[in-house]
Structure 1
Amino acid sequence: MPGLKPGQVLVRNHAIGLNPVDWKVLGGALVNWRLGHVPGVDGAGTVVAVADDAMRYLLGRRVAYHQALGEHGSFAEYTPVAAGVLLTVPDTLDFETAASVPCPALTAWQALEKVPCRVAREILVSGAGGAVGNYLVQIAADRGFVVSVSSHERHWERLRERGASHFLPGAVDETIGATPELARRFYAVFDSIDARYAARWAPAVAANGHIVCIQGRFDTPPLPPFTSSASLHEVALNALHTYGDDAAWLETTTAGSMLLAGIANGRMQPEARVTGDFEKLPAQLEGLRHRRFSGKPVVLVD
């Protein structure tokens, strides 16, 4: 049973959500973990212990969380988590679904928060077929944006149901990007593939528009100076654990709890889940790395 630092609670995990970052960090190139560190960023379960009496009101609460990479993670029966990062899981929502939500949904929300809301302006979500795209399309449509997507055609019907209006081919290859007829069409482009692909969409951004890189960041501006004057944004959800203050976390956890409530009441649709027991976690992680299945992998701890 792990010990608790001040401000932490102990979560008994009932389900673990797997994300691409989980396999990316296991090689050791991105983080400096010591032997024995527990990986995993997303989980959902019940608060069973608190660091001090002032937090006893949290005991028994159903929660989900996105854990800091520097702390012991969700690939365990119990995880110590800072109380300030907990998301409230409604009683009507199962832990399996809740564990699938934090990383992709909060990333999508954070990406959209970079861009001022302009009702009826058209945006493009590149790489929309993945987990982040699932939530980004829904949140953007709910805010009044006209949503276009670039993804494989097999995702189009699902994305139409989520709120997308226009569809562009989007196989992840060297041909993806803006065509002349798309010049300066979009108020904002949200790319979830990488900065190279995001740069290819730059000519499609309208004057004073926005380009949001969800994976990676631009090393150099993708457009010449004194042209469309697009604002460039990066998204780094886990960095909030290091650089975010209490106000930033309150905004984030409030949004996350509202997204979970939206899923519980049917206003927001989660990804389809691919579940397995704890013994199958390595196989699911390897399958996620090599895209051997479609859907969100979730490990059931109970």
Structure 2
Amino acid sequence: MQALVVPDPSAQTMEQLQWQERPMPNLGPTEVLIKTQAVGLNPVDFKLVAAGNAAWQYPHTLGLDTAGIVEAVGAEVTNFRPGERVCGHANLANNGTFAEYVSLPAAVLAKIPTTVSFEAAAASLCAGLTAYQALLRKANLNAAQTVLIHAGAGGVGSMAIQLAKAAGKTVFTTVSKAKQAFVAPLHPDAQIDYHHEDVTTRIQDLTQQHGVDLIINTIGHADADLPRLAYNGQLVCVLATPDHFPSNQVVTISKLDLGGAHRSGNPAQVADLGQMTAALLALVQAGKVDPLITQVLHRDQLVTGLQQLQAGQVVGKLVVTFDAC
């Protein structure tokens, strides 16, 4: 089968990636072999090219998100069968999803609803699951009415806006002026142009000087969010947490690592990836969440798509199809 690989440890740029003929994945007793139909592209993909991973063996196949058709199932798999449409988020320590076939644990997979395309399913995974976990696993939404979501035009931010609005929350988001037209159809209650506005001042003005109940931070620099939190506020960090815990504030700080569930050794956490995927796809099917695909590329354009992501040229989601090139 053909797969997009990092050929050796010295290959750390997009230009060094190669399509190679690779062996078919091994199928373990609890795994599902999937014939790839579409994959989603994520910033973590190009970041991993530069950073690598100590667990990799080379050539290493890239990719984290896949949607496709079940080709075969392991001896202990009872909830999937050949011919079904499935999708899932892979373990970055293992060979990935940018290949004609991929083998994933059955626990992390979900069946794709009949009205959801392979492309929409693939586009919903990494960013959508991160947003879902932030809001519906890490945060206590019962205690939050106002939410600040950073980088509203990004994959995680745009999904988080939709999930928070679907939950009936008042949503503010930081977005550059050039991207505000893209975010406007998601109906945030306010967009803050962080290039030209002081975010803390604007948040205080929007909340009558109380601060927001919940912040989803996808950008780092988390210390800057502390004065934006209300009493009993919550801060969920996708990247680094604040350097200093505020002893003079009553707040909750959480760290999120979606893919860490794969490496946790905890079967319940691994299975929750599949459960969150199924719940997210149900919201996509119901029209409550849109993964906002802005471009669908063919397999031979996959590296170009990663380069576009790396250059910051993308709003919304890039998807690659694995039909014939």
Q: State the match for 1:162 in structure 2.
A: 186
**Is structure 2 residue 270 aligned with structure 1 residue 270?**
no
Work out the CA distance in 1 between the residues paired with 2:161 and 2:203. Answer: 23
User: Is the 8 Å Cα contact of residues 31 and 77 (structure 2) preserved in structure 1?
Assistant: no
- Bigger shift: residues 238-247 or 13-22: 238-247
Which residue is equivalent to 2:241? Answer: 217
Give the Å deviation of 1:168.
Answer: 1.5
Q: TM-score if structure 2 supplies the norm length?
A: 0.84
Matches of 1:53 and 1:204, distance apart in 2: 50
Aligned equivalents of 1:181, 1:55: Cα separation in 2:
50
Aligned equivalent of 1:279: 300
Take 1:6 and 1:176, find their aligned partners in 2: how far apart are those partners?
A: 54
Match of 1:239 in 2: 260
CA positional deviation for 1:169: 1.5
User: Take 2:203 and 2:71, find their aligned partners in 1: how far apart are those partners?
Assistant: 57
1:199 to 214, 219, 223: 223
Equivalent position to 1:98, from 97, 115, 121? 121
- Structure 1 residue 92, shift from structure 2 partner: 1.4
- Give secondary structure in 2 for the equivalent of 1:179: helix
Contact 2:223-2:244 within 8 A present in 1 as well: no
Partner residue of 2:49?
26
Aligned to 1:136: 160
Match of 2:172 in 1: 148
Amino acid at match of 1:178: T
- Gaps of at least 5 residues in structure 2 are 1-23
The alpha-carbon deviation at position 69 of structure 1 amounts to: 0.8
> Against the structure 1 CA distance between its residues 244 and 104, is the aligned structure 2 distance closer, same or farther, given a 3 Å change threshold?
farther
1:186 partner letter: V
TM-score normalised over the length of structure 1: 0.90
Please give the secondary structure, in 1, of the residue aligned with 2:60: coil
Gaps of 5+ in 1: none
Q: Percent identity?
A: 29
What SS does the aligned partner of 1:178 have?
Answer: helix
**Closer, same or farther in 2 for the Cα pair 1:106/1:265, shift >3 Å?**
same
Distance 1:261 1:274 in 2: 23
How many residue pairs get aligned? The number is: 295
Find 2:317's aligned residue among 293, 296, 299.
Answer: 296
Q: Say whether the 8 Å CA contact 1:118–1:145 is kept in structure 2.
A: no
2:123–2:293 contact (8 Å) kept in structure 1: no
Once residues 215 and 207 of structure 1 are traced to their aligned partners in structure 2, the CA distance between those partners, rounded to angstroms, is 23
SS in structure 2 of the partner of residue 215 of structure 1: coil
1:95 corresponds to which letter in structure 2? F
> CA offset at residue 228 of structure 1?
2.0
- Answering whether residue 216 of structure 2 is matched by residue 190 of structure 1, we say yes
Asked if 1:74 is matched to 2:97, the reply is yes
Task: Return the offset for 1:301.
Answer: 0.5
CA shift digits 1:244-277 (9 cap, x unpaired): 6333344442232122122223222221231211
Secondary structure at 1:55's aligned position in 2? Answer: coil
Amino acid at match of 1:238: G
Would you say 1:65 and 2:91 are equivalent positions? Answer: no
Q: Which moved more, 1:61-70 or 1:273-282?
A: 273-282
Matched, 1:178 2:200: yes
- The aligned residue for residue 148 of structure 2 is 124
Residue identity opposite 2:200 in structure 1: A
What CA distance in whole angstroms lies between the structure 2 residues aligned with 1:86 and 1:181? 39
In 1, Cα distance between equivalents of 2:76 and 2:293? 39
**Contact 1:42–1:103 (8 Å) recurs in 2:** yes
Change (3 A) 1:207 1:87: same
Q: 1:15 aligns with which of 35, 38, 41?
A: 38
CA contact under 8 A between 2:293 and 2:319: conserved in structure 1? no
Q: Give every structure 1 segment of 4 or more consecutive aligned residues whose post-TM-superposition deviation is greater than 4 Å.
A: none
Structure 2 vs 1, CA of residues 203 and 35 (structure 1 numbering), >3 Å: closer, same or farther?
same
Instruction: Tell me how far apart the structure 2 counterparts of residues 272 and 144 of structure 1 sit (CA, whole Å).
Output: 24
- Contact 1:128–1:192 under 8 Å retained in 2: no
